[in-house]
Amino acid sequence: MSPRRLTPIKPARSGCNRGVPWAGSLSLGRSAAALTNPNEHMNYTKPVLSRRKALQMALTVGGTACVQPIASLLAAETNRPPTFPNVLGPFYPVIKPMEKDADLTRIRGHKRGAEGKIIHLMGRVLNMKGEPQKGSRVEIWQANTHGRYSHPSDMNPAPLDPNFQGYGVQFTDKEGRYRFKTIKPGGYPVTPDYARPPHIHFQVAGKKDLTVAQMFFPGEPLNAKDPLFQMLGPYTPGAIGQVLPPTPDMEPDSLIVNWDITIFAS
């Protein structure tokens, strides 16, 4: 049986991504050793390789203090800055669920759907010229509405949701569009005095490179205390999904969340 695929739609306005490459490192309390530098997986096109690599080496040596000035230099290289990479995190599902389709709110054979606020998550994958990237592989994974991942390393005592898929993968259409139906994830504790805000993890494979990022939600109180959000600095708007009301064919109490991703090489 072919996996369910949702037809991408064009929201009224598309979000903008103002991210830049980043090669720093962060330490978090929970499963910190599993945090991964996404740039280790990236390939860059020849024309920008030497300059970009030199800048990234400077970032690695200099740490976060010099992220923003150097990020500005990288951003100035092209018209559309690449999406700001973020850590893979400890809960990427190495063992994938049986079902991996675009509707994370329903699992075949289950009578009930996932708990939580339904969101229709969609957007485009573009290159740095703003050209749509057909056939890009878009993976998402996230916590459930209670802030719990269906992952053996997640020690959060919050309940699992047996009706939530937690992971999905799709390929973009000819306009570079992807679309998932999922729920808004809950935040989750990392230490007794620090909790991560709601976010959705993305891994996008274009023809030549791999982008790992996290999409945040606007107006979340936990955003301001999250190091992985704070490090975005002036590039914060590009990491936040654009929340829109549902269209008439959607659940009345659901939301559209639009987020475009810009990759390096096409």
Q: Which residues are catalytic, by number?
A: 149, 188, 196, 199, 201
Smaller CB distance to Fe ion: residue 8 or 89? 89
Is residue 8 part of the contact set for Fe ion (CB under 5 A)? no
Applying CB under 5 A, the site for Fe ion has a residue count of: 1
Residue 185 Cβ vs Fe ion, minimum distance, rounded to whole Å: 8
Residue 33 Cβ vs Fe ion, minimum distance, rounded to whole Å: 15
Which residue of the chain is nearest Fe ion when measured via CB? 89
109 φ, ψ to 5°? 90, -10
Smaller CB distance to Fe ion: residue 25 or 247? 25
Residue 196 Cβ vs Fe ion, minimum distance, rounded to whole Å: 6
Smaller CB distance to Fe ion: residue 52 or 201? 201
Q: Which residues, in sequence order, are bridge partners of residue 240?
A: 216
Closest CA to 254 of 264, 245, 241: 245
Tell me, residue by residue from 75 to 104, as one string, x for binding to Fe ion by CB under 5 A and - for no binding. --------------x---------------
Residue 199 Cβ vs Fe ion, minimum distance, rounded to whole Å: 6
Residue 156 Cβ vs Fe ion, minimum distance, rounded to whole Å: 11
Helix/strand/coil (H/E/C) assignment for every residue in the chain: CCCCCCCCCCCCCCCCCCCCCCCCCCCCCCCHHHCCCHHHHCCCCHHHHHHHHHHHHHHHHHHHHHHHHHHHHHHCCCCCCCCCCCCCCCCCCCCCCCCCCCECCCCCCCCCCCCCCEEEEEEEEECCCCCECCCCEEEEECCCCCCCCCCCCCCCCCCCCCCCCCEEEEECCCCCEEEEEEECCCCEEEECCEEECCEEEEEEECCCCEEEEEEECCCCHHHHHCHHHHCCHHHHHHHECEEECCCCCCCCCCEEEECCEECCCC
Smaller CB distance to Fe ion: residue 128 or 231? 231
Smaller CB distance to Fe ion: residue 88 or 118? 88
Q: Which residues bind to Fe ion, rule: CB under 5 A?
A: 89
